[in-house]
């Protein structure tokens, strides 16, 4: 008999061994699949929580913007802008402009307790009272 003509002997496994091998391989496959699904489920839950947080923040921002839009479209906003930014007044009103007066230098007088030095100097030869009076009652 030559080696090429020799027939292989079929491997005979008992039925129980084949069933055990099949069962073990199925358990391994199912365990790996379950682990992958569990990991994916965890990732999806984390993404869902993050998106829910973002939706809540964006909803609050949206509500704030809607409230701002309502205010901007109101007459109160128009009056506020006209008075504060454009310096307009209603008919019959008088606009008062308050001029700034320079204060004592460096606050040295406050540190030393000399309160008379904190009094602002006269602006263009006027005391603050005279400046106010000339603003309200021009000569």
pLDDT tens digits along 32-47: 999 999 999 999 999 9
Per the domain annotation, does 30 fall within a domain?
A: yes
- Is the CB of residue 95 less than 8 Å from the CB of residue 89? yes
In the numeric block, the tokens 């008999």 are attached to 1
What's the Cα-to-Cα distance from 66 to each of 11, 58, 62, 77, 78, rounded to whole Å?
79, 12, 6, 14, 17
Residue 94 above 60 pLDDT? yes
Domain count, the chain: 2
Instruction: DSSP letter for 125, please.
Output: T
pTM of the model: 0.43
Per the domain annotation, does 33 fall within a domain?
A: yes
Per the domain annotation, does 79 fall within a domain?
A: no
Per the domain annotation, does 130 fall within a domain?
A: yes
Mean pLDDT of the region 50-69: 97
Structural domain containing residue 127: 96-136
pLDDT score at 120: 47
Mean pLDDT of the region 114-139: 66
Tokens, residue 86: 């454009």
Q: Which residue has the higher pLDDT, 125 or 76?
A: 76
């Amino acid at each position: 008999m030559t080696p090429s003509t020799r027939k292989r002997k079929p491997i005979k496994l008992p039925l129980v061994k084949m069933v055990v091998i099949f069962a073990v391989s199925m358990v391994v496959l199912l365990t790996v699949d379950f682990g992958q699904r569990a990991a994916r489920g965890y990732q999806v839950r984390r993404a869902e929580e993050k998106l829910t947080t973002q939706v809540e923040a964006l909803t609050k921002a949206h509500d704030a913007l809607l409230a701002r839009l309502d205010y901007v479209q109101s007459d109160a906003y128009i009056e506020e802008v006209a008075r504060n930014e454009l310096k307009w007044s209603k008919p019959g009103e008088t606009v008062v402009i308050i001029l700034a007066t320079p204060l004592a230098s460096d606050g040295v007088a406050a540190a030393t307790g000399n309160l008379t030095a904190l009094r602002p100097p006269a602006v263009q030869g006027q005391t603050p009272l005279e400046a106010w009076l000339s603003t309200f009652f021009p000569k």
